[in-house]
Every structure is written in structure tokens, then in C-alpha cells.
Amino acid sequence: MLSDFDVHLYLHGPLNNYGMLVHARNSGETIAIDCGDADETLRALEHAGWSLNEIWVTHHHPDHTAGVAAVKEKTGCLVRGPEQGRSLPISDLDVEYWDGSRFSFAGHDVNVLATPGHTLDMINYYLPDQAAVFTGDTLFTLGCGRIFDGSPGLLKQSLGKLAALPPSTLVFGAHEYTKTNIAFTRHVDPKNLAVNERIARLEKLLDAGMPTVPVKLAGELATNPFLRPGDRGIRANLVMENASDDEVFTRLREIRNNF
């Protein structure tokens, strides 16, 4: 999946959160991307046979942070997360970051991208030499995050930041929402051949009980409605041919809220 890391995914909670353990083969160090459930995280570590060194928090929502304190106490790990004061506080952070911050893990550069919209404190972690980005609740397979304390304009801008990464980048979204996102995408873009072909591939994965994470950014650029508000087919289907991209994006998010 990644050239220098092994990734262990596990689902937990009523919101189908993806827990993610990322293990560096060269150093034996391990990261948890968010930690919404302490027991599930510790169970996954035991199953993988890895020791936890760090937690990288994407935003403050409890389904991403509720297990941080207990896992930190159990493992002594370092906790990285978003700069505080932008939204509700996150306890137990050791290091705070915002847009443009950089740090190193196991000899690899990690670039922090601020992607507010779902929340005002959302950050994503991009490893350029691994062509991988951990997007939290910003970008999902065929979807994006619901807006809580952000705004449509902020979320659209943040998605544009992710869309500018190399198309080969692997996108690790934090929830398995693909089944609902498929229904939504069919609704707003029913005549797009590329969309329908990709949906067929994703449905095979879902039918086999396989994760639809990660996905290549190229696939999202071609088929995710939220990355294509200027698409003529989507605009015609929404009867918004003369609307701005911002207006189309806002309408798409409103429709998805009710799916």
C-alpha cells in the first residue's frame, strides 16, 4: 500500500470510523491516526504486534479523540494535533500544528495541511514521499465532511487544497461512508459513465466486505461530485447551469445532508 509503511485499518463505532495504525518498517515505530476508541485501538495494536509511539489527531470530535487520554496513559505515546483556540479544546496534546507546519516521523517528512470546513480545527497529514494523505473528515471516497462549525466556502477551499496534490496520492478518509456516498453520487450525476464504472468497482469491494479506503486522488478528481462543482452534467441535473461553483457546492452539501 505504502512503500515504507504498513497500514492496519479497523472499523469501530456507530459512525463507521476507520481506526488507522501506520507502522514504519525501518524503525518499528507506529502511529495511530486519531483515537476515537481506546479499547479498539489497543486491541488493534495487540493484534498487529506493534507498540504505539504517536497519535496524530485531525480534529476535536469525540469519535476521533475519545480514546486519546486512555491510550496515551497506557502507552506513553506522543500526541500531535491541531492548533488550539480555533474550536473546542482537545486535551492531552503534546504538539500543536497549523497550515504549513512540518515534522519528521521515522525519517519521513510530514506536511500539515489546514483543511477547515467540517470543523474549524481540522488538519490533514500529508507524507509526500509516500504519496499519502490522511484526510480525517475532510475528504471521503465519493464524499466530503458534513459542515459543523465551518462553512461551505471554507470546506470548498480546503478540498481545493487536497485536489492540488499529485493525482497518484492515496487518500485515507476516516469513515466508511461509501455506500451512502454512492447513492448520493448516482442521484446528482446519474449519466456519467466514469462515475458509474467506478461505482461498480466500489460496490464489488463493499459486497466482499472490503474497505474502500484508501483511494487514489485521481479517482476522486474524476468522480467525486464535491470536487467537480463546475461539471456540466451535475449542473444540468441540479438545474444550476448558470450558478457559481460556490452555489453548486453548497447545494451538493445540502443534498448530501439529507441522504
Residue-wise pLDDT tens digits, 133-172: 999 999 999 999 999 998 999 999 999 999 999 999 999 9
Residue 185 has pLDDT above 90, yes or no: yes
Average pLDDT value over all residues in the chain: 97
Q: How far apart are CA 218 and CA 220, in angstroms?
A: 5
Q: How far apart are CA 135 and CA 174, in angstroms?
A: 7
Percentage of the chain with pLDDT > 70? 100
Cα distances (angstroms) measured from residue 78 to each of 55, 75, 96, 204, 244: 6, 9, 11, 38, 44
Cβ–Cβ under 8 Å, residues 113 and 83: no
Q: How far apart are CA 2 and CA 129, in angstroms?
A: 10
Residue 256 has pLDDT above 90, yes or no: yes
DSSP for 74-111, please give it: HH--EEEEEPTTSSS--TT-SEEE-TT-EEEETTEEEE
For residue 8, give the C-alpha cell: 492496519
pLDDT per residue over 46-93, tens digit each?
A: 999 999 999 999 999 999 999 999 999 999 999 999 999 999 999 999
